[in-house]
Structure 1
Amino acid sequence: MDYHKEAAEIIAVLADSCSEAQLIGSMSISTYDTAWVSMVSKPDGAELRWLFPESFQIVLDSQSLDGGWDGPGSETDTILNSLAALLALCRHHTAPAHTNGNNPPDLLSRISKAVVGFEIISPSIINSLRSFGICLYEPPVLLSLQAQKLRGFDWNLLYGSRQLALLHSLEAFDGLIDFDRLSHHMRNGSFLGSPSSTAAYLMNSSVWSIEAEQYLHTVFQKGTGQSSGKFPSAFPSANFELSWVGTMIYRKRRLLIETIYRLFPHFSVLD
């Protein structure tokens, strides 16, 4: 088949998916987002149950021998992944009733192993960890950077009509903002297409959002994890898919088709 014809067909598949309002996305799996989603519990009568137990199993399975959770990129990724995963372990340990007491028997030892060696941490997550009796060192420079970022910020802007980039990371403001005043920013069940931010909203809002729950179920099924419990860092990502494919066509030429087939195996039309 002619290269240009193959490229055109791939673009057409993606364009049709976007025009038909199908949710597509191929963002890499994120331990950070998976950990946050694993902490969402839903009211079930008089009790609570974990909404995505598969995601917590992924967190358990991906813990490394040294107790942490490696990241695909920088050391910052590893730190944030490990902090979010550690928080997930703590919340599951203190709420065994959510799983009828079926937590793994070594959960406490996993927590102890994960705490060892932390030097640099995220101020927002460390505050949550304190409630579980885990006190980690906070480098003054990190606290200074946080204060500098938030100094003079008018929180009312977050509650207004304008959508700020901060909505993509609502988990960073646990205990600092009123999540009930953010529902108007939800689009198709999510906050700027962020699984972790949407999970944080469900965890902190006083009213359960069926729309947000459905978004997470959609990502669970249609995201890169394909119902395994693994969540990507963003979904959907149609604009990214189209721009990335277009760039690949421009730069890679003949290598494009093989790469696209590998990255989009769930598109049956490409088989």
Structure 2
Amino acid sequence: MIINKSGDGSGWLFPESFAYLLESQGSDGGWDPLQQSTRSLGYPNSLWLTDCIIHSLAALLALCRHARGPDPPADVSPILGARSFLHQKLSIWTLEDITHLGFELLMPVHLLLLQEEGIKFEFPSKVKLFRKFQEASAVDLDWLYDEAPCQVPLFSLEAYIGKLDFSRLSHLPTSSGVAASPASTAAFLIHFPRWSAQCEAYLRRIVIRGPGKGNGSVPRVFPLELFEPTWVLATLLEVGFTKEHLGAAQVDLLLQFLYRNLKDDGVIGATKAFFLDAEDTSRALMLLNLNGYNLSPVSLVTRFEVEDCFATFDTKISKHVKSISVNGNMLYSLPQYPTPSTIVPQIEKVARFLCKQWRTHSTEIQDHWNISFYYTLMRIAQPLALLMSAHSQNRLSLSLDLFQGLAPDCLQGIRTLILAHQHADGTWGRLPCPEETAYAVVALAHIKSSHVIPADEGSLDPAMHRATRVLWQACVSKCPSPDRLWTGKVLHGISSVREAYMLAALRIGMNHVSLADSNPLTASLYRLWSW
């Protein structure tokens, strides 16, 4: 929807993105990146409907803008199809169990913008949606006008169209656009009264060099130069891969890069252009401390600790997101600090928070940042197992009720639940998909290593054995794109993280599977991971 106002020409910028939009429209008139119609087991309606509605509202708005812009397309059938699709989907959409961040802003703003184009939708949940919109938009945004880079969780600049004075936001763009968000950067270019060559260059770079490699598509956030190396390396190294397995020289360069970004404030975010957060910081600290950097978590604790756990974002953000994933990563990181005895109160606080979440929700437990039930279970089991081992080895002294009761009960309950829900083909999950199966295997392997399960209990090995066969086949087949399990404005997948978890599950799964009755495939896998 960006018209060239640079003075170097006229017309629409990024025609390849408009072409991609047209090519991606489904036969039913909508945009459905989750590909629900092709699945035997699909996403819940609360996730799928919200996702395809948000995509389709934005796409329809682009079609309408092009229809009244320079060189309008002669074919109006895409607009008619999109209107019909949205009318049908909105008629059955409700506000229940939605995980999409900012939907209460994005959907109403797009509906209002479409109304300006002459397209108005009426649907049963509209009054409730706009009531939430009034609440969500009644925030003070004057801080955005301060002459400083955006360092708070502004996921969607486009969600504040009509509320923000874009003429006062000239300080927001950096070499990473506006908050490393293509959508926010595009909104800035459309509504800022002057042209930003910096924003245009950022968008051109991600269209050409981003994951779409010039096909017109763009990622949700770009770049993720801190998130991706942190999560991939941490996922692999914490299950037994070594720097030598992965290429010592390259790993050292990545570690040095992370250290340079962490050393000044002691905290990082997913990208240098993004706000700071507890999860990426804890993953980076754990990774660096595993490799001899001996870094203190003081800044991490000071900035993110709240009453009963750790918040995702800085404590000055009024709305804390209490995430199991964030606190699970915190608990995995803190005991690996060189002197963990100095932060036992924080360690126990997080452990109790995770155990409470399990005891309160168990079969319905869900994290804020990933829709997979098994991701959440893994994020609880992995650090609790590490905690049990640290206590058993006298590296950490825990309260008796935590060591003898809460943590073992939690691990045993998670183990029972995971085993009970494995599919006959060895997979886990409601889709199912290799990434969810990998989460389950990593969780089971850590539970087994904690020794809270009797040594002669034999149900874990067969389950992990069946799963590793499936994961190996998935690695061989090289699925071109990951399932969309991660939440945000829309659901998305992260290929590098998906592959890292699959490799981690294969590695740790084979370490914990007995070879007494293995077949040739199992034996070859074991040799592969026993370099």
- Structure 2 counterpart of 1:232: 219
Looking at structure 2, the residues matched to 145 and 42 of structure 1 have their Cα atoms a distance apart, in angstroms, of 35
Q: Deviations over 1:145-180 (max 9, x none)?
A: 1222233x2221221236354543111111221112
Change (3 A) 1:245 1:208: same
Looking at structure 1, the residues matched to 175 and 79 of structure 2 have their Cα atoms a distance apart, in angstroms, of 38
- Structure 1 counterpart of 2:60: 86
**Of 112, 122, 139, which residue of structure 1 is paired with 2:107?**
122
- Structure 1 counterpart of 2:15: 53
- Structure 1 counterpart of 2:411: none
**Of 208, 215, 239, which residue of structure 2 is paired with 1:221?**
208
Q: Deviations over 1:179-213 (max 9, x none)?
A: 12112122215111000000000000110100000
Q: TM-score, normalised by structure 1?
A: 0.71
Whether 1:156 and 2:142 are equivalent positions in the alignment is yes
Secondary structure at the aligned position of 2:188 is classed as helix
What amino acid sits opposite 1:156 in the alignment? D
Identity %: 34
Change (3 A) 1:52 1:103: farther
Q: Deviations over 1:212-257 (max 9, x none)?
A: 000000101111011110100010001111122123303485989x
Q: Deviations over 1:67-86 (max 9, x none)?
A: 11113372222111011011
Whether 1:210 and 2:200 are equivalent positions in the alignment is no
Gaps of 5+ in 2: 35-42, 94-105, 246-470, 481-494, 497-531
Whether 1:134 and 2:119 are equivalent positions in the alignment is yes
**Of 80, 83, 104, which residue of structure 2 is paired with 1:109?**
80
Secondary structure at the aligned position of 1:50 is classed as coil
- Is the 8 Å Cα contact of residues 211 and 219 (structure 2) preserved in structure 1? yes
- Structure 2 counterpart of 1:25: none
More displaced stretch, 225-234 vs 60-69: 60-69
- Structure 2 counterpart of 1:70: 32
- Is the 8 Å Cα contact of residues 109 and 161 (structure 2) preserved in structure 1? yes
- Is the 8 Å Cα contact of residues 67 and 73 (structure 2) preserved in structure 1? no
Gaps of 5+ in 1: 1-38, 265-271
- Structure 2 counterpart of 1:27: none
What amino acid sits opposite 1:40 in the alignment? I
CA RMSD of aligned residues (A): 3.0
- Is the 8 Å Cα contact of residues 87 and 125 (structure 1) preserved in structure 2? yes
Looking at structure 1, the residues matched to 240 and 57 of structure 2 have their Cα atoms a distance apart, in angstroms, of 38
Whether 1:43 and 2:10 are equivalent positions in the alignment is no
Looking at structure 1, the residues matched to 112 and 4 of structure 2 have their Cα atoms a distance apart, in angstroms, of 23
More displaced stretch, 217-226 vs 100-109: 100-109
- Structure 2 counterpart of 1:188: 175
Compare CA radii of gyration and give the structure with the larger one. 2
Change (3 A) 1:102 1:45: farther
What amino acid sits opposite 2:19 in the alignment? Q
What amino acid sits opposite 2:184 in the alignment? S
Looking at structure 2, the residues matched to 112 and 79 of structure 1 have their Cα atoms a distance apart, in angstroms, of 11
- Is the 8 Å Cα contact of residues 212 and 218 (structure 2) preserved in structure 1? yes
- Is the 8 Å Cα contact of residues 30 and 82 (structure 2) preserved in structure 1? no
Change (3 A) 1:165 1:127: farther
Secondary structure at the aligned position of 1:122 is classed as helix
Cα deviation for residue 106 of structure 1 reads 3.4
- Is the 8 Å Cα contact of residues 92 and 103 (structure 1) preserved in structure 2? no
Looking at structure 2, the residues matched to 140 and 210 of structure 1 have their Cα atoms a distance apart, in angstroms, of 40
More displaced stretch, 177-186 vs 232-241: 177-186
- Is the 8 Å Cα contact of residues 41 and 50 (structure 1) preserved in structure 2? yes
More displaced stretch, 134-143 vs 80-89: 134-143
Looking at structure 2, the residues matched to 164 and 170 of structure 1 have their Cα atoms a distance apart, in angstroms, of 13
- Is the 8 Å Cα contact of residues 69 and 82 (structure 1) preserved in structure 2? yes
Cα deviation for residue 114 of structure 1 reads 4.0
Cα deviation for residue 141 of structure 1 reads 1.6
Looking at structure 2, the residues matched to 176 and 234 of structure 1 have their Cα atoms a distance apart, in angstroms, of 23
What amino acid sits opposite 1:194 in the alignment? S
Secondary structure at the aligned position of 1:116 is classed as helix
Change (3 A) 1:221 1:252: farther
Looking at structure 2, the residues matched to 114 and 44 of structure 1 have their Cα atoms a distance apart, in angstroms, of 36
Cα deviation for residue 109 of structure 1 reads 3.3
Looking at structure 1, the residues matched to 87 and 129 of structure 2 have their Cα atoms a distance apart, in angstroms, of 19
